[in-house]
Amino acid sequence: MSGARRAVLGAIGLVLFAGTVVEGGRLGEPALPWQATLPWQAALPWQATLPWQAALPWQAAQAGRPALPGESARRSQADHVPVYAARPAVDPIRVDGRLDEATWAFVPRVGPLRLIHDPAREPVYPTEAAVTWDDSALYVAFACTDPEPWARHSQRDDRLWEEEVVEVFLDPDGDGRNYAELEVSPTNVVVDLLIAAPRAAGPNARQWDIAGLQTAVSRHGAGWIAEIAIPWASLKEAGVSAAPRPGDRWRVGLYRITRPGGVAKATRIDALVAQRRGLEDQARIAEIDAQLAKLRADDEYAAWSVTRPEAGFHDPERFGIVEFVGRR
C-alpha cells in the first residue's frame, strides 16, 4: 500500500473513531474530518506516558466544535457547545481517587480541556474528564497532568479558586440561575457554592453544602486525579429532586485552574498584592501590576466547554450539555 493511500485510510479510521466517541450527531453534525486532525485531538506524546492512560483504555474525545477557518472561536462556541453522553455506571464507584472501576474505562472521556483565553493552544498542563451516574449520584473524574500540584487552603469553603482546583458546575434546568459549583483542590479540600446568578455570588453562596458529597484525590508521578460523587438528593436548591431520566439534558461546566510555580510563587504574588493595597503612587501601581501579570502569565484556565474570557467560568450560556443516556 502506498504511503499516501495508507495515510488516507488512516485518516478515515480516525474520523470513524472520532464519530463513535464525540457524539457529534447529537448536535446535528456528524464528526468531520477536521475533528480528527486538530493537535489537541491526536494522541500526543505526553498522553502516552501518563500512568492512568497506560492502565485504562479511556478514549480521548473532544466534543466541542472548534472554529472553522475564518470563523472566530467565540462565534463557534456561541453556536455550539459540546454534548457529553453520560452513560450509567456498570459497577459501583468507590470514591477513592483511583479510576480503576470498569465504569471509568467504559465511559467517554473528554479532553484535553481547552484554555478559555486561547482555545486553539494546547495546554501545558492537560486535563481530561469523564462523567457517569447511577440511581444515587453523579460521578465526575478528572485526570490532571501536573508534576507539582499545590494548595495552601485547608478548610471547607476556603477561596480555593485562588490556587489550583478542578471544578464542576451543574445547572440542571439550564436557566443559568441557582446552579451548583464545586471545587476540589489537589489536597482534597472542597468549596461548594450555590450560585444564584453569575457574578452575583455573595459570601452567602458558600454557606450551601452538597449533602453527602464524596471526593478523593490521588497523586502519581505525572499529576493528580480527582474522583467525585454528588448525590442527586443534594441538589434540591438547584432544582433536582431525583436521578435524571435517560434523555434528560443538563448544562454542565468542567474546569481546572493550574497555577505553575507552587507555593513559592503564590507567596510572591501575595506580597505584591499586599504592597499594592492602599498605594496611591500610580507609577508604582503600574509597576506592581506588570510584575503580577508576568507572574500570572502561565496560569491556565481550562474548560471542557470554552467560556468567554471576560466572564471567566461563570458563563452559563457556554456550559456544555450532559445528556444522560440509559443502559443499552
Q: Which residues bind Ca ion (CB under 5 A)?
A: 94, 96, 98, 157, 192, 206, 209
For the CB of residue 243, give the shortest distance to Ca ion in the complex, in Å: 20
Q: Work out whether the CA dihedral 226, 231, 234, 236 comes out positive or negative.
A: positive
Nearer to Ca ion, 115 or 184 (CB): 184
Q: Give yes or no for a contact between 253 and 320, defined as CB atoms under 8 angstroms apart.
A: yes
Nearer to Ca ion, 132 or 145 (CB): 132
Of 88, 95, 111, which Cα lies nearest the Cα of 21? 111
Nearer to Ca ion, 15 or 228 (CB): 228
Q: What is the DSSP string of 157-189?
A: TS-GGGS-EEEEEEETT-SSSSEEEEEE-TT--
Nearer to Ca ion, 94 or 284 (CB): 94
CA angle 199, 201, 207 (to 5 degrees): 165
For the CB of residue 260, give the shortest distance to Ca ion in the complex, in Å: 27
SS3 (DSSP) at 291: helix
For the CB of residue 43, give the shortest distance to Ca ion in the complex, in Å: 24
Angle formed by the axes of helices 262-276 and 282-296, to 10°? 160
The secondary structure of residue 63, as a DSSP letter, is -
Of 249, 251, 313, 302, which Cα lies nearest the Cα of 122? 302
Nearer to Ca ion, 155 or 241 (CB): 155
Give the burial string for 236-255 (b: 16+ CB within 10 Å, else e): eebbbeebbeeeebbbbbbb
| Largest pairwise CA distance in the chain | 72
For the CB of residue 105, give the shortest distance to Ca ion in the complex, in Å: 11
For the CB of residue 82, give the shortest distance to Ca ion in the complex, in Å: 25
For the CB of residue 194, give the shortest distance to Ca ion in the complex, in Å: 8
Bond prior to 112 in cis (omega within 30° of 0): yes
Nearer to Ca ion, 171 or 192 (CB): 192
Q: Give yes or no for a contact between 171 and 250, defined as CB atoms under 8 angstroms apart.
A: yes
Nearer to Ca ion, 157 or 315 (CB): 157
Q: Give yes or no for a contact between 22 and 31, defined as CB atoms under 8 angstroms apart.
A: yes
Nearer to Ca ion, 115 or 228 (CB): 228
Give the residue nearest to Ca ion (CB).
192
Tell me how far apart the alpha carbons of residues 26 and 279 are, in angstroms, rounded to a whole number: 54
For the CB of residue 229, give the shortest distance to Ca ion in the complex, in Å: 9
For the CB of residue 49, give the shortest distance to Ca ion in the complex, in Å: 22
SS3 (DSSP) at 273: helix
